[in-house]
Amino acid sequence: MKAAIIGGTGYGAIELIRLIQNHPHLEIGTVVSNSQSGTNFSDSYPHLSNIVNISLEKFDAEEISKQNDIVFLATPSGVSSKLVPELIDKGIKVIDLSGDFRLRSQNEYETWYKHTAPAEEYLSKAVYGLSEIYPEKIKEADLIANPGCYPTATTLGLLPILKANLADKKSIIIDAKSGVSGAGRGLSLTSHFAEINENIKAYKLGAHQHIPEIEQVLKDETGSLITVSFSTHLVPMNRGIMITAYVNLTGNISTSEVNELYREFYENQPFVRVRPIGIYPATKEVQGSNYCDIGLHVDPRTNRLTIVSVIDNLVKGAAGQAIQNVNIMNNWDVTTGLDSIPMYP
Amino acid sequence: MKAAIIGGTGYGAIELIRLIQNHPHLEIGTVVSNSQSGTNFSDSYPHLSNIVNISLEKFDAEEISKQNDIVFLATPSGVSSKLVPELIDKGIKVIDLSGDFRLRSQNEYETWYKHTAPAEEYLSKAVYGLSEIYPEKIKEADLIANPGCYPTATTLGLLPILKANLADKKSIIIDAKSGVSGAGRGLSLTSHFAEINENIKAYKLGAHQHIPEIEQVLKDETGSLITVSFSTHLVPMNRGIMITAYVNLTGNISTSEVNELYREFYENQPFVRVRPIGIYPATKEVQGSNYCDIGLHVDPRTNRLTIVSVIDNLVKGAAGQAIQNVNIMNNWDVTTGLDSIPMYP
Amino acid sequence: MKAAIIGGTGYGAIELIRLIQNHPHLEIGTVVSNSQSGTNFSDSYPHLSNIVNISLEKFDAEEISKQNDIVFLATPSGVSSKLVPELIDKGIKVIDLSGDFRLRSQNEYETWYKHTAPAEEYLSKAVYGLSEIYPEKIKEADLIANPGCYPTATTLGLLPILKANLADKKSIIIDAKSGVSGAGRGLSLTSHFAEINENIKAYKLGAHQHIPEIEQVLKDETGSLITVSFSTHLVPMNRGIMITAYVNLTGNISTSEVNELYREFYENQPFVRVRPIGIYPATKEVQGSNYCDIGLHVDPRTNRLTIVSVIDNLVKGAAGQAIQNVNIMNNWDVTTGLDSIPMYP
Amino acid sequence: MKAAIIGGTGYGAIELIRLIQNHPHLEIGTVVSNSQSGTNFSDSYPHLSNIVNISLEKFDAEEISKQNDIVFLATPSGVSSKLVPELIDKGIKVIDLSGDFRLRSQNEYETWYKHTAPAEEYLSKAVYGLSEIYPEKIKEADLIANPGCYPTATTLGLLPILKANLADKKSIIIDAKSGVSGAGRGLSLTSHFAEINENIKAYKLGAHQHIPEIEQVLKDETGSLITVSFSTHLVPMNRGIMITAYVNLTGNISTSEVNELYREFYENQPFVRVRPIGIYPATKEVQGSNYCDIGLHVDPRTNRLTIVSVIDNLVKGAAGQAIQNVNIMNNWDVTTGLDSIPMYP
């Protein structure tokens, strides 16, 4: 199958290319970058020299849908919403890595993203691609809204305890830490090396556009309106997200029981690994891979559960989960092309 | 005044030396390192060449008290408890940077530190040296238990809202992030470069020995038994601690009112800076300095206050606060020797 | 084919396991770690959880050679020399990643390594596994001395100009920079995070044990005794080696002619990439991959050639080249299992 | 004395402010930033909150010279050349931290800097401010061309051996490594965190504008035209420059004799420290300070001297040397305001 990638010079696209190259059933078709069309891909990314010898092209929905079997949009939010309709109308399946089609409510989208929401007609076609939770819907989808990096780590960390109805739903606090690649390749002072190296920085407290996305999943899965506290922090590293979530427990349950609960919940999920009691995951342990690793601790002093959940933001938080969704859509084994070992150290 | 430093080759001692050198009324007297006595200081630390030309000495309470006016202990916990009595008995004032004399309860100490507590007689002499909160007691003290790095950032961040009686005391969650220098110069796999670089690591969830220290201060200042959730994370940088604390508010109060409350609380405290609304501090903004910078956000969706508090763990979290306490003890201006600008970037 | 790995808990072994997992014709057999035998591999390395479920074993040449088809030694120098004879005598092929069998002269070995050299009998069996240069000998070898990380980057960078007889052989200077993983997982102050983060450190000037290895290759390939200046520097990153080599040219030759010369020299070598004129490689561009990327600049002011050569020290500088050699030994395509795209950023 | 700073929001200016704050005879007067005039300084740099409460102003030579006693220009090259004449004409002394007045030849300037050189009239007034070498001229100067970061580390490292006439002047090779703050606060892909973190990058080989500056000093001090090879590398850290220089020796001289030669050369220079034999400096050992630390090694195999010279690029390589020059100009002790201990770790 040939895959087109739109938004070809961002980190999301680069990671898609790395993963597609490793995938037995996918190959790179068209790569679109309006800003750099006509140039060779390896001019922007010398690490692709001798591997991906492709010219970047301008966006042309007609050509793309003729020459490819699937399209990945690795475009910024606000751009995907404009490109998706044309592509969908040509009958090609689309995986959108931006936030544009994740929120079902146009209102919510416009409140948090501060620009115009996609048309209702296309929003309603979108399936939220949290692979472990919605495989059946993903299988049938024409348009996948690929989850955000923070929401992936967060919802995989929270759902088992919430669905077991053991958590006080008003108590949920998520303290998120991210590597800098999550901010993309666009230049900004907060991604300027000397500013963020040797530094931790809190940003967008209570204001991150991933908040409504998390709350939408939690509501879908529990039936309750859940409002979370969500704080984001930039950490001086390239890849990796860790969320530390805090939940008040409603009954008496030990760390070992919670651990068992999580292991059962993810029993058939090859990409979610639950650490043994007393061991917490570190982001490096999933570097370059599609794993989400989870550690759990119940503090008997407060009867509060602490959940540590880590992913590689560019893999399970973006390109990897996109490939996982393609695997599901095609009835391929879910690990196809995604079974490489994390790069350590 | 001559200052002796015991534990001379750890990072705490090195930072004391940097600060003392900058202090108009202090000078370095004896520096003790049992493991490296007899060698020149700059053999272990070439950055001190041509500046501090001193031989490291063996511990000798008699000599130390004769030749110095004050003693800083930058020794590990479990060591200070053995050295303090002898020094105190010689009549010299002692600032202990370890955790040995911070907890008033021997039981608590032994529960969390896992070794024998200091004798009651000496524990009772110790004054907890949180400079902004206990200046009157510090002024009279013979033995200062200098606060831990996490407790300093945490209690300075929490006390204004707690003392204003606006917080649900059962709701306190502290998510702490620290640079690696906090783990000291002793070799261990968790401080091994390739293991922690490009990584975030959660550790000692609900089990850190700074928990009872924080709770003791909160109880002393509010009169209530307060149990906190406290999680610690290692971040790939040398210096800096950030704590992000979450507190449920008991009434309706806006970010701007909380901001005003904090500004008033710290009005006469030169080392605590409250950021304007919508701005959160980063650890680099206090690098190398004795500041504690605080940012505040009330989320109206959850009526929860998020507090971001940052310090340099080796300065305000250790050596700087120790000097600040010496300034208080001597009725010198509290900023004496501590007024240099943070090193940025 | 089943592969045994001796020295199973170092970074070299871990990287071998990552690469073997990706290799269609190799699978992990026995993994030996004397220090941690009996424990599960993922106890030391949680990133392997659910992927490599293997118990670490004690060294037993008999068992190893029965149950495996090839052995990788990822042991420190001085250890391999003791284990290789027993393994070779059992008839199993061995790839030694340590320095023990690289120098043909016992004298040289003992001068630079400061311990006893391996027996002549086994030294004489060893083939130096610089894959691009010695494929014919590698094909026939029973014992491969896998090249060091610095010598790989250096010799691949120097050989084209030297073999073209265009360089003043007395003028060669190599300024090498390495990430910290090259120093291994053993604890030491120079790999302690706070010491090497935000730091560059020169070490072992003119004294590194890779010097005679480089000189041996240069002599073998040019017929001349060549003495190089070689300086090593630690850089605050995990992976990557860059060498910047300086060579006086003996005739007039332009950057573009040198570029052409290098491209021809490596025309059929998939893992060596020569950058276009004016572009120099960065270590991140080969991260996680088996590439050696080379940039070239002739300065007409000095008639000196500057060569920039980069590799991932754990891949092309260790485990990757070992796999490349196994591919050669088995007449598999040389890129088998090694064709993944560098991880960027 | 009041000091004006032009170019107030770059890293050079920020470092000047940190050092001036620490200086007993200097105080901050006007701070000019055309792009941000009217705003409060701590809006751009929160680390200055409560310390430097100053509004940024527009450039006005008249006002500046009235209200200040000295002016520091921390402007980019090409800007200083336009501002200096006006200031000098008003009779105020100027320290220019840019490269505009360092090269005496307009031709050379235009060849390397690619824009118009300053007028001859003003060029001829400029004194090159390499403090250790030109104190007498500095004392009399009205306009100081403060040396570049690379030239400072390089010339201090090379001059003793060159002036002793023990070096082959055609053999000089300088391999330079710099932290990223040297590239300033202006946004660019090469300073983008994810691009340079975990990376070393060679750039501007043989083309850096500091080359003619180095060669001008070497010619001035030796009387010979010296052409150097000079390569620059970006290293993932904020502060610090290391140069490793290679020089063929013309006679037989041991490491210990070279060491002695350097110690004598810098005997009365408080900011240059020569390491003992076998010890090489690391950039962290001068972090935040005005030191230049030098290590030396003669390789008897090649009769080549390797010189390792480190500085903090923002201090001795910029703001610190500027202050040192002001001390010289005013007959203050050269260490005034510059005697703080490097920040370690």
Tens digit of pLDDT for each residue in A297-328? 999 999 999 999 999 999 999 999 999 999 99
Tens-binned pLDDT, residue by residue, of chain B (345 aa): 999 999 988 999 999 999 999 999 999 999 999 889 999 999 999 999 999 999 999 999 999 999 999 999 999 999 999 999 999 999 999 999 999 999 999 999 999 999 999 999 999 999 999 999 999 999 999 999 999 999 999 999 999 999 999 999 999 999 999 999 999 999 999 999 999 999 999 999 999 999 999 999 999 999 999 999 999 999 999 999 999 999 999 989 999 999 999 999 999 999 999 999 999 999 999 999 999 999 999 999 999 999 999 999 999 999 999 999 999 999 999 999 999 999 999
pLDDT of residue C9: 87
Convert the pLDDT of each residue in D44-64 to its tens digit: 999 999 999 999 999 999 999
Burial (CB count within 10 angstroms: exposed 0-12, middle 13-18, buried 19+), residue D69: middle
Using the Cβ of D344 and the Cβ atoms of chain C, whether some distance falls under 8 Å is answered with no
Q: Which amino acid is at A78?
A: G
HSE of A94 in the Cβ direction (CA atoms, 13 Å)? 31
Query: In whole angstroms, what is the distance from residue D37 CA to residue D76 CA?
Result: 17
Contact at CB, A21 and C339, closer than 8 angstroms: yes
Q: Which positions 186-245 of B are in contact with A (Cβ < 8 Å)?
A: 194-195, 197-203, 205-206, 227-229, 231, 233, 235-240, 242, 244
Answer yes or no: is pLDDT of C308 > 90.
yes
pLDDT of residue A8: 82
Contact D274/D259 with Cβ under 8 angstroms? Answer: yes
B229-234 vs B201-203, strand pairing mode? antiparallel
Q: Go through the domains of chain C in sequence order and give each one's CATH number.
A: 2-124 (3.40.50.720), 150-313 (3.30.360.10)
Query: In whole angstroms, what is the distance from residue A286 CA to residue A292 CA?
Result: 7
Query: In whole angstroms, what is the distance from residue C36 CA to residue C44 CA?
Result: 9
Query: In whole angstroms, what is the distance from residue C270 CA to residue A50 CA?
Result: 8
Q: Which helix (H) or strand (E) holds A162?
A: helix A149-163
Q: Which amino acid is at D98?
A: S
Please tell me the distance in Å from A23's CA to the nearest CA on chain B: 26
Give strand ranges (E) for A33-151.
Answer: 70-73, 93-96, 126-128, 143-145
Convert the pLDDT of each residue in C48-60 to its tens digit: 999 999 999 999 9
Q: What is the 3-state secondary structure (H, E, C) of C206-238?
A: CCCCHHHHHHHHHHHHHCCCCCCEEEEEECCCC
Answer yes or no: is pLDDT of D8 > 90.
no
pLDDT over 90 for what percent of chain C?
Answer: 98
pLDDT of residue A9: 87
Burial (CB count within 10 angstroms: exposed 0-12, middle 13-18, buried 19+), residue A43: middle
Which two three-digit tokens encode residue C181? 């993983």
More confident call, D192 vs B34: D192
Query: In whole angstroms, what is the distance from residue C20 CA to residue C5 CA?
Result: 11
Q: Which one, of A39, A31, A33, lies nearest residue A4 by Cα?
A: A31
Cβ partners under 8 Å of residue C69, min gap 6: C1, C2, C3, C29, C92, C93
pLDDT of residue D142: 98
Contact B283/B310 with Cβ under 8 angstroms? Answer: yes
C-chain residues near B192 (CB < 8 A): 185, 187, 191-193
Convert the pLDDT of each residue in A30-41 to its tens digit: 999 988 999 999
Distances in Å between the alpha carbon of D121 and those of D85, D93, D105, D128, D143?
Answer: 9, 16, 12, 15, 12
Query: pLDDT band for position D103 (50/70/90)?
Result: very high
Convert the pLDDT of each residue in C148-158 to its tens digit: 999 999 999 99
pLDDT of residue A48: 97
Answer yes or no: is pLDDT of C131 > 90.
yes
Q: Which positions 160-179 of D are in contact with C (Cβ < 8 Å)?
A: 170, 173, 175, 177, 179
Convert the pLDDT of each residue in D269-317 to its tens digit: 999 999 999 999 999 999 999 999 999 999 999 999 999 999 999 999 9
Contact at CB, A200 and B295, closer than 8 angstroms: no
Per-chain mean pLDDT for chain A: 97
Contact A65/A92 with Cβ under 8 angstroms? Answer: yes
User: Where do we find the tokens 């400072």?
Assistant: D152
Contact C64/C92 with Cβ under 8 angstroms? Answer: yes
User: Where do we find the tokens 């895959």?
Assistant: A3
Which candidate from D194, D239, D306 shows the least CB-CB separation from C231? D306
Does residue D345 have a cis bond before it (omega within 30 degrees)? yes
A70-73 vs A2-6, strand pairing mode? parallel
Q: Which positions 32-51 of A are in contact with C (Cβ < 8 Å)?
A: 45-51
Q: How many CB atoms lie within 10 A of CB B54?
A: 17
Convert the pLDDT of each residue in C11-55 to its tens digit: 999 999 999 999 999 999 999 998 899 999 999 999 999 999 999
Contact at CB, B194 and C238, closer than 8 angstroms: yes
Query: In whole angstroms, what is the distance from residue A241 CA to residue A178 CA?
Result: 4
The SS3 assignment for B32 reads: strand
Please tell me the distance in Å from B283's CA to the nearest CA on chain D: 10
Angle formed by the axes of helices C106-113 and C210-222, to 10°?
Answer: 150
Query: In whole angstroms, what is the distance from residue C30 CA to residue A15 CA?
Result: 33
C272-274 vs C292-299, strand pairing mode? parallel
DSSP C169: T
Query: In whole angstroms, what is the distance from residue C274 CA to residue C262 CA?
Result: 7
A-chain residues near D237 (CB < 8 A): 197
b/e string for B141-172 if b means 16 or more Cβ within 10 A? bebbbbbbbbbbbbbbbbbbbbebebbebebb
Contact at CB, B194 and C236, closer than 8 angstroms: no
Per-chain mean pLDDT for chain C: 97
Contact B211/B230 with Cβ under 8 angstroms? Answer: yes
Which chains have 3 or more CB–CB distances shorter than 8 Å to chain B?
Answer: A, C, D
Work out how many CB contacts closer than 8 A connect B with D.
Answer: 88
Convert the pLDDT of each residue in A94-146 to its tens digit: 999 999 999 999 999 999 999 999 999 999 999 999 999 999 999 999 999 99
Phi, psi (deg, nearest 5) at residue B221: -90, -20
pLDDT over 70 for what percent of chain A?
Answer: 100
pLDDT of residue A201: 97
Burial (CB count within 10 angstroms: exposed 0-12, middle 13-18, buried 19+), residue C44: middle
